[in-house]
């Protein structure tokens, strides 16, 4: 997959408060959710404006739930495909998109201790290790992630 020129320019000029990790997460999310070879500037623009909508709640607004966010993204994903169905493998792509940050945050919270992270997640230690390996996650023991 690649970005169109306008999309790349938008990424270059965006302020990245989360630094490289925020950029990596955005690119992974876009790669999973967009089936075409080229990720358009409209997709990036929508993703970059989304945090502002969810982080500053107006009085009376309800906080966005994980389920609500997933539903919104899936509706957008299906709308981008118009009358056609998205390519096969959607279930695994969505699970991977949720699983990666879930495991990263739990590993950070346990300072890289995989036994404690597995317990926190309710997973077998070997299952967690396999998921870490399959997702290509880096585990650094002793350091709390940002």
CATH number of the domain residue 113 falls in: 1.10.10.60
Based on the fold, state whether residues 78 and 22 are members of the same structural domain: yes
Residue with tokens 């002793």: 142
State the residue range of the domain holding 146: 89-146
Q: What tens digit of pLDDT does each residue of 113-142 get?
A: 999 999 999 999 999 999 999 988 888 877
Contact (CB, 8 A) for 117 and 103: yes
**pLDDT value of residue 8:** 86
Q: What is the pTM of this model?
A: 0.54
First-residue to last-residue Cα distance in the chain: 28
Looking at the structure of the chain, the number of domains it has is 2
Tokens encoding 72 = 């919104």
Q: State which H helix or E strand residue 51 sits in.
A: helix 41-55
Strands 38-39 and 2-3: parallel
pLDDT at 13: 84
């Amino acid at each position: 997959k690649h970005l169109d020129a306008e999309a790349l320019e938008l990424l270059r000029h965006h302020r990245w408060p989360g630094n490289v990790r925020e950029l990596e997460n955005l690119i992974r999310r876009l790669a999973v959710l967009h089936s075409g070879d080229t990720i358009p500037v409209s997709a990036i623009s929508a993703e970059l404006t989304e945090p502002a909508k969810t982080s500053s709640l107006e009085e009376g607004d309800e906080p966005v739930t994980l389920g609500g966010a997933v539903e919104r993204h899936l509706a957008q994903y299906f709308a981008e495909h118009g009358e056609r169905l998205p390519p096969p493998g959607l279930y695994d792509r969505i699970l991977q998109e949720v699983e990666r940050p879930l495991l990263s945050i739990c590993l950070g919270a346990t300072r890289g201790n995989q036994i404690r992270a597995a317990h926190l997640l309710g997973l077998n230690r070997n299952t967690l290790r396999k998921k870490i390996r399959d997702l290509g996650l880096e585990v650094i023991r002793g350091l709390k992630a940002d």
